[in-house]
Chains A and B, each alone.
Chain A
Amino acid sequence: MKTRFAKLWQTARKYPTIMMSVVIISVLLGIAFYAMISIPFSEAALLWRGAENIWEDTPRLAAPIWFNAFRSEKLSETVNLTREDALITEEAVSATIRKETWVYEYDFPYATFPQEMKAFFTVSADDKNPLVKFTWVKPDGTTYQLGSMTASDGSRYGISADATVSREQFNNQPLQVELYRDPSSTTEEPAVLNGTYQFIAEVYHFTDSSEIEIQFVSFGEVYGIAGTDHLRRDLRIGLLWGTPFALMFGLLGAVGSTSITFLIAAIGSWYGGWLDAAIQRICEVRLQLPTLPILIMLGTFYSRSIFLILGVVIALDIFSSGIKTYRAMFMQVKNLPYIEAARAYGASNMRIIVRYMIPKVAPVLIPNFVTLIPTFVFLEASLALLNLGDPTAPTWGKILNDAYHAGALYRGYYYWVLEPALLLIFTGLAFSMLGFALDRILNPRLRRI
């Protein structure tokens, strides 16, 4: 067994495409396993469903962080600060009132303004909720008195939407522009003042047991390793989990389709007669039917479950040209002397089919099987794009579907389209290269001497 593997490795090394594809597939498998281990599926599904407050601390439609590597003028990054980053002091104001001062200090070396800013509160108080007053300090010392509000558990303060600070005073720009603006710049468009900013929240607690957690977020234009979509979802989730989905769909589809096709072709060609004729007629009829419209009708009128679609696709794939090709090969094998010898020493029909005919033709199966995997991966993506996929499953196709409906390419959110597209392309490339190389190895007629 070891020497067979060594020999296989030696042959594989002669084909650089095999090495490349093995590398890519290993990377994909690594991503898939990482995704499944680091984020269990139940959690991922929940995250992807994007309920109301799951993604509230991520920006909307933010590009990936590494975009800034290509820009001289950096896009604003998202700043997300919690208790560990704050300077908290406490003092008693009166007998029953406690004042807790939260100071968030951070650097802002970017060239563009953030999209918005918010503060999120987690409060536990028995009777009265605390009162919070907000102050903003720019690096040049300018201080702004922002509004104040009663903080209840789960409430939030949208700084940009603060109505107490009238916008009219600031040339009809959104508040965060003014809060970050460099007054000394001479450009027509407002410029960002770089430096250290302070966001100060003074919390007045009315009971002893009242407690508060304040999370401050300045929503930048870039976020995370993959960016975010229109529902503020971190695309990382979708891309990561899309990998195992794609690979599984591809593998299951290819395995199911190929193995069943093979078996049916073998049985039909061996028994001949009406069974063979029936199978051939079914295939011929099916070959006239268009696949995608059938799936569209199914998805529209019946159900969009991914397993149903997969099942129907496999069924349609089985009874098509694959059976005819394999049947031709099996017909040739059927007449080989050792098959006749097997009949002579009493082998049963099933034994001949499974033990003698299938292993002879199986090497041809492998390259076909490998090149079939990307077909299924792309099929899933196409179906998702056409709104036929499972809308709750985090797949690459779904990301593309969302991007398409949000007009991503028109609006310049290229990353949203490119990231899943490139992953699809690499998957397809890897398996196709591997399949073609295997074909050259295993199909003796294509071998170069």
Chain B
Amino acid sequence: MTTQATSTLLRTENLRLYFRTTQGVVQAVDDVSFTMPRRDALAVIGESGCGKTSLVRAILRLLPSNVHTYSGNVFLNDIDVMKLSEERFRTNVRWTKMSLVAQAAMNALNPVLRVGEQVAEPLIVHQRLSKQAALAQAAEVFQLVGVSPDFLGRYAFELSGGMRQRAIIAMALITRPDLIVLDEPTSALDMLTQANIMNVLKGIKRDLEQSFIFITHDVSTTSELSDRGMVMYAGQIVELASAEQFYLDPLHPYSAKLMASIPTLKEKKELEFIPGQPPSLLNPPTGCRFADRCDRRFDKCDTEPPLQQLADGRWIRCWLYNK
């Protein structure tokens, strides 16, 4: 099903995911459109409640029961996977073409199964391999992530936090999907372990052909792995730019403030913080959603700015930069 002709791996158009809750409809993902070329690493940055985890759910179709709206298009290799039935999506797309390293997944390893069995399971389910063949491939993938194949026969509690996370990455990698989505892969880990895991991911990106979507609220870590950065705020994309553009010269006021609020050791700069809170997704404000916290707002901000592409190739949703 893969077509090498196209260099766009993933394209979303007007993706919407709204949830029904006891307090109303939460517009978690609100009209998100972006493209991702092959062998690209995209960092999705935003605070809690901006919709980035819901974006993961929308792309991978891991939906809870209280979905209110789920619409739009998701093109994977030019095939609209939104139109596939649940069964076909499960067998042909999820974990064969796209896989997920979920938040705190290392704590979700099944405690009564051996680690090797769990890592090999996607192969047994999707590619109908025998257990032996699957375990052999699991051993290979373990090497890739830097875990000794001896650990295949161990149980989850015998592994340390860092090793469990590597096992989870191995599980996501084992079917050689085109796209791996990582949702806060290192937030529960120590700094050294974090750096080690990042090294593993960098190695995988360099040696294999995987693309990554890397979601986190920790802006500093994202620079480890991203070719491009996408900032989400209140369910919308506000800026999408290349790594150089984004980290060195963020244009959107929110991205700029976010960058300014990160303490760094390399230079002593005055830290800024953003007063106020992100808006509730139950009733997003009309107009620019960042306007009430922005110190550069003007009267045009009362209408919602569209996502537009600038001359240098980046996308931005802000009246300050729209032509």
Contacts and interface: CB of A to CB of B under 8 A. Distances in A.
Interface string A438-449: 000000000001
B65 interface: yes
A146 B66 CA distance: 87
4 contacts: A449-B21, A449-B22, A449-B65, A449-B66
The dominant DSSP class at the B interface is loop
Nearest to A447: B22
Nearest to A449: B66
A444 to B, nearest CB: 12
A449 B67 CA distance: 12
A19 B133 CA distance: 61
Contacts, number: 4
A449 B66 CA distance: 8
4 smallest A-B Cβ distances: which pairs?
A: A449-B66, A449-B22, A449-B65, A449-B21
Interface in B13-37: 21-22
Interface in B64-119: 65-66
A414 B84 CA distance: 66
A378 B158 CA distance: 51
Nearest to B20: A449
Contacts of B22: 449
Contacts of B21: 449
B218 to A, nearest CB: 23
Interface residues of B, number: 4
Interface of B: 21-22, 65-66
B251 to A, nearest CB: 40
A449 B21 CA distance: 7
B26 to A, nearest CB: 12
B18 to A, nearest CB: 15
Contacts of A449: 21-22, 65-66
Contacts of B65: 449
Contacts of B66: 449
A449 B20 CA distance: 9
Interface in A390-430: none
A259 B151 CA distance: 50
A2 B66 CA distance: 32
A449 B65 CA distance: 9
B143 to A, nearest CB: 39
Nearest to B22: A449
A72 to B, nearest CB: 57
A449 B19 CA distance: 12
A206 B190 CA distance: 115
A363 B198 CA distance: 45
A441 to B, nearest CB: 13
A407 B263 CA distance: 88
B23 to A, nearest CB: 11
Nearest to B19: A449
Nearest to B21: A449
Interface in A83-107: none
A449 B68 CA distance: 13
A137 B22 CA distance: 79
A446 to B, nearest CB: 15
Interface in A110-138: none
A437 B65 CA distance: 23
A449 B23 CA distance: 11
A10 to B, nearest CB: 12
A197 to B, nearest CB: 72
A122 B65 CA distance: 81
B49 to A, nearest CB: 19
A282 to B, nearest CB: 33
A349 B66 CA distance: 44
A185 B87 CA distance: 84
A449 B64 CA distance: 11
A318 B42 CA distance: 60
Nearest to B65: A449
A323 B21 CA distance: 36
A258 B206 CA distance: 64
A142 B21 CA distance: 85
A412 to B, nearest CB: 56
A123 to B, nearest CB: 78
B147 to A, nearest CB: 31
A449 B22 CA distance: 7
